[in-house]
Amino acid sequence: MAENLLTATMPDTPPAPPSAPAPAVDGRPPLLPEKFWDPQAGAVRVDALLKSYLELERRLAAGVDPARINSLLGVPDHPDGYCIACDHGMFTPDPEINTRLHGAGFSPQQAQLVYDLAAERLIPLIQQLAAEFQAEREVERLVEHFGGEAKWREVSRQLLAWAGKNLPAAAVEGLSTTYEGVMALHKMMTGGEPSALGRGEPAGAVGESDLHALMRDPRYWRERDPATIAKVTEGFQRLYPGA
């Protein structure tokens, strides 16, 4: 069947605009309830409008359930409902802090962010303080071993001069961070007996980059694990036996 040519050729008739509601006889705006209009003054009864708004606000506030709002936001029912991840191992979730976060209406994501920011700012500071404290302890051991501060200062000067001429800077840096490393430097400088690994035992695949990776391991700089320290020290001695 052929298409209807009339519908295809006749111009579209634009729809008529919606007619605005006619104002009331007394001049009241069309959308304003009658109770808010003063026909004698021909004006809005502001006091009645304000009173009605305040009453509506009061009723809405009275009907709001804080627990319902917390539930919608994902806030757990109790502070122990937070599942905080502290994979860095430097500190763990604190029940008192969690209680305060819960009282403030923090969602699990917001609570986790608080801990993450604390870790971001505090862990480097804790690591620095721990390293400084450990360095002081190591120096005390060296002072005691060499018979006083004056003798240690002289030995330290000699070690720096000798190591600077005979060892790569990376090796000096690696060995000078621990008591065991300094003693290894002193043994090499004075021609003492090298370590077991330095006496020609299989060198293995451990290289200088591996030793620096070990030095970044928390077992080395934080926990002062004797086995890790010995591995780093003997590794440098093996790489530079007798220097």
Q: Do 107 and 165 reside in the same domain of the chain? A: no
In a domain, 136, yes or no: no
Query: What average pLDDT does this structure show over 199-214?
Result: 58
Q: Do 153 and 233 reside in the same domain of the chain? A: yes
- Looking at the 3D structure of the chain, how many domains does it have? 2
In a domain, 168, yes or no: yes
Q: Do 165 and 203 reside in the same domain of the chain? A: yes
Q: Do 166 and 218 reside in the same domain of the chain? A: yes
Residue 150: exposed, middle, or buried by beta-carbon count in 10 A (0-12, 13-18, 19+)? Answer: exposed
Q: Do 184 and 229 reside in the same domain of the chain? A: yes
Give tens-digit pLDDT for 114-163.
999 999 988 888 878 877 888 888 889 999 999 999 999 999 999 989 88
Contact 149, 155 (CB under 8 A): no
Please give the residue range of the domain that contains residue 109: 79-122
In a domain, 32, yes or no: no
Rounded to whole angstroms, the Cα distance separating 158 from 152 reads: 10
Determine the residue type at 70: N
Average pLDDT, the chain: 77
Q: Do 214 and 152 reside in the same domain of the chain? A: yes
Q: Which of 11-25, 33-47, 99-113, 178-192 has the highest mean pLDDT?
A: 99-113
Q: Do 158 and 222 reside in the same domain of the chain? A: yes
Give tens-digit pLDDT for 77-120.
889 999 999 988 888 999 999 999 998 889 999 999 999 999 99
**pLDDT computed for residue 208 by the predictor:** 67
In a domain, 171, yes or no: yes
In a domain, 8, yes or no: no
pLDDT band at 60 (very low <50, low <70, confident <90, very high): low
**0.85 exceeded by pTM:** no
Contact 111, 101 (CB under 8 A): yes
